[in-house]
């Protein structure tokens, strides 16, 4: 269906075709689901909330619950304060969450609704019960991306929850970035294995990857407890994984509660995971276990064993900036050549970082922020690659150009496993590299003539 994409590149300043991102409220909704007992609330029209819920549901194959202010024509003209007040009254009466996390949409942002004042007046009027929380963040859809929305909602958690007090010895905050529930679970496993008292927030594990027990729970057991969120201001350090999704909240926490922070790349691959483990060692004095070192050795062993299939392969990457930075480093270290690296999120620092990273192995690489998949397709038509890595939307380019695709990132709506198997940490690196190598081997099997069709690869 993309066979008619032209090869001729024309600069476009005010038009995006097939964007490599989605809008802020989706990221805010996903982050809010990482609080235990939280109901995300979309302050806008019902259609926006339905779209955001369905997008997350299609990715995770789990029912995503959220409420909405259900703007009508009147609210669009006169403001949505009455709608939000009525919504909060209904939510706490019927659904009884511990937290309501309000995010705005382009409609309520254009109107200019003052969410903090509305929430404060609702609390004074008894609409918000004692002991319950209503937090908020501003997420206009016409600015940023789902990564921006995630970042804003995590910063909203920092604005509302932390309580002052003496520092808790050895306690570490980890902001995991916009990653899968399986990745958050893997980060928690690493902390536990090293014997570290860590608070991971937000945490969507056991929320969007729940087991089937025959009993539905509106609020699953997962998510960061409010009690933990109240204690993040007493931690000794915050490790922010991914500057685009996590740095804003870490900076705010340092400003408000004097908790120092360190920004790290997402721990995808050997080097980035090494840096996370070293940062944990520096912060707590704990040492990695023998099992962790064995996991690292297994990942390195796979890279060595299959180097001849990876070396020199040209790859096109698209997706979220934090994930692409770490993935580019991982693939380069495995001998591959990142040729095109495209994100829909704005960020000059993304372009500078990735360009510097690949200049020695792929001097002609094209690295672009705030761009789209139409542009990526044109690049591939002019100079093809051996592999594409990105979300489900890449399947159309892969089919049109007959190039294998490894699904990675958000959203993945046509495959299974991404919410159950991590790609972060040493174990996650094994899983990710296994998918890449097997995809390349499957293509080799398909294309080899009879005399080269091998039983043992």
CA 52 to each of CA 156, 173, 343, 357: distance values in angstroms, whole numbers, following the listed order: 19, 28, 20, 34
At residue 40, what are phi and psi to the nearest 5 degrees?
A: -65, 145
b/e 99-119 (16+ beta carbons within 10 angstroms → b) = bbbbbbbbbbbebebebeebb
E strand or H helix that includes residue 358: helix 348-358
| SS3 labels along 243-298 | HHHHHHHHHHHHHHHCCCEEEECCCECHHHHHHHHHHHHHHHCCCCCHHHHHHHHH
**Residues 115-123: what's their mean pLDDT?**
95
Q: Which two tokens stand for residue 43?
A: 């302050």
Give 372's contacts (C-beta < 8 A, 6+ positions apart). 16, 17, 18, 19, 20, 342, 344
CA distance 432 to 429: 5
- Candidates 239, 243, 223, 61; CA nearest to 147 is 243
Residue owning tokens 């996590």 = 246
pLDDT over 90 at 173, yes or no: yes
Average of per-residue pLDDT across 18-43: 96
Q: Is 439 exposed, middle or buried (0-12, 13-18, 19+ CB in 10 A)?
A: middle
Distance CA 172, CA 248 (A): 17
Question: pLDDT tens digit string along 285-307?
Answer: 999 999 999 999 999 999 999 99
Compute the mean pLDDT over every residue in the chain, rounded to the nearest whole number: 95
Residue 364 burial (10 A CB sphere; 0-12, 13-18, 19+): exposed
Q: How confident is the model at residue 4 (pLDDT cuts 50, 70, 90)?
A: confident
pLDDT above 70: percentage of residues in the chain? 100
Q: What is the pLDDT of residue 50?
A: 92
- Quick check: 311 and 337 in contact, CB under 8 A? no
What residue has token string 């916009």? 178
Q: Compute CA distances 433 → 78, 307, 381, 438, whole Å.
A: 54, 11, 26, 8
Beta-strand runs (E) in 348-451: 366-368, 387-390, 405-407
Identify which of 7, 430, 36 has the alpha carbon closest to the alpha carbon of residue 228: 36
364 Cα distance to chain centroid:
28
**Cα 233 from Cα 132, distance rounded (Å):** 20
Pair 373, 342: CB distance under 8 Å: yes
**pLDDT at residue 3 above 80?**
no
pLDDT at site 1: 60
pLDDT at 366: 97
Lookup: tokens for 429: 């690196």
Q: What is the pLDDT of residue 22?
A: 92
What is the tens place of the pLDDT at every residue in 352-399? 999 999 999 999 999 999 999 999 999 999 999 999 999 999 999 999
Q: Is residue 457 scored above 80 in pLDDT?
A: no
Residues 6+ apart with CB under 8 A from 407: 390, 391, 392, 394, 414, 415, 418
CA gap 340, 337 in Å, rounded = 9
Q: What is the pTM of this model?
A: 0.95
Distance linking the first and last C-alpha atoms of the chain: 34
Q: By the 8 A CB rule, do 41 and 53 touch?
A: no
**3-state DSSP helix/strand/coil percent for the chain, to nearest 5?**
45, 15, 40
Looking at the DSSP assignment, which residues form a beta bridge with residue 405?
A: 388
Distance CA 170, CA 235 (A): 8
Q: Residue 372 carries which DSSP code?
A: B
Structure confidence by residue, pLDDT tens digits, 223-273: 999 999 999 999 999 999 999 999 999 999 999 999 999 999 999 999 999
Q: What is the pLDDT of residue 11?
A: 85
Q: Which two tokens stand for residue 375?
A: 């542009």
Task: Work out the burial of residue 206: count CB atoms within 10 Å of its CB; fewer than 13 is exposed, 13-18 middle, 19 or more buried.
Answer: middle
Domains and CATH numbers, the chain: 24-160 (3.40.50.1980), 171-287 (3.40.50.1980), 294-451 (3.40.50.1980)
CA-to-CA dists, residue 334 to 161, 164, 325, 331, 345, angstroms: 42, 45, 15, 5, 26
Quote the CA–CA distance of 81 and 118 in Å, as a whole number: 6
Q: Please state the rounded mean pLDDT for residues 278-284.
A: 97
């Amino acid at each position: 269906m993309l066979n008619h994409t032209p090869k001729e590149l024309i600069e476009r300043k005010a038009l995006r075709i097939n964007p490599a991102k989605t809008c802020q409220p989706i990221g805010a909704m996903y982050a809010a689901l990482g609080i235990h007992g939280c109901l995300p609330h979309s302050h806008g029209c019902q259609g926006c909330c339905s779209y955001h819920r369905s997008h997350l549901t299609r990715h995770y194959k789990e029912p995503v619950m959220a409420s909405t202010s259900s703007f009508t024509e009147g609210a669009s003209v006169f403001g949505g304060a009455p709608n939000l007040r009525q919504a909060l009254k209904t939510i706490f009466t019927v659904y009884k969450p511990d937290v309501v996390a309000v995010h705005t949409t382009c409609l309520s942002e254009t109107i200019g609704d003052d969410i903090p004042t509305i929430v404060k007046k609702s609390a004074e009027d008894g609409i918000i019960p004692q002991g319950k929380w209503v937090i908020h963040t501003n997420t206009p859809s016409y600015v940023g991306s789902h990564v921006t929305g995630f970042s804003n909602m995590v910063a909203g958690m920092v604005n509302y929850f932390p309580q002052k007090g003496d520092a808790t010895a050895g306690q570490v905050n980890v902001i995991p970035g916009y990653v899968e529930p399986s990745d958050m679970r893997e980060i928690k496993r690493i902390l536990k294995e090293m014997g570290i008292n860590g608070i991971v927030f937000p945490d969507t594990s056991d929320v969007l990857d729940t087991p089937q027990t025959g009993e539905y729970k509106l609020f699953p057991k997962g998510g960061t407890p409010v009690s933990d969120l109240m204690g993040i201001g007493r931690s000794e350090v915050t490790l922010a994984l991914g500057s685009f999704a996590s740095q804003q909240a870490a900076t705010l926490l340092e400003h408000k509660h004097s908790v120092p922070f360190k920004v790290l790349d997402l721990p995808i691959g050997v080097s980035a995971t090494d840096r996370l483990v070293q940062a944990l060692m520096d912060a707590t004095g704990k040492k990695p276990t023998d099992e962790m070192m064995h996991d690292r050795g297994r990942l390195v062993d796979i890279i060595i064993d299959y180097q001849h299939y990876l070396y020199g392969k040209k790859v096109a990457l698209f997706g979220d900036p934090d994930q692409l930075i770490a993935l580019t480093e991982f693939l380069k270290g495995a001998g591959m050549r990142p040729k095109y690296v495209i994100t829909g999120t704005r960020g000059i620092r993304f372009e500078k970082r990735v360009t510097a990273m690949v200049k020695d192995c792929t001097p002609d690489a094209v690295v672009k922020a705030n761009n789209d998949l139409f542009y990526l397709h044109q690049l591939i038509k002019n100079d093809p690659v051996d592999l594409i890595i990105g979300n489900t939307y890449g399947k159309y380019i892969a089919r049109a150009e007959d190039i294998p695709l490894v699904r990675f990132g958000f959203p993945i709506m046509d495959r299974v496993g991404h919410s159950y198997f991590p790609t972060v940490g040493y174990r996650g690196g094994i899983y990710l590299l296994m998918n890449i190598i097997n995809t390349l081997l499957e293509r080799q099997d398909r294309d080899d003539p009879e005399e080269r069709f091998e039983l043992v690869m």
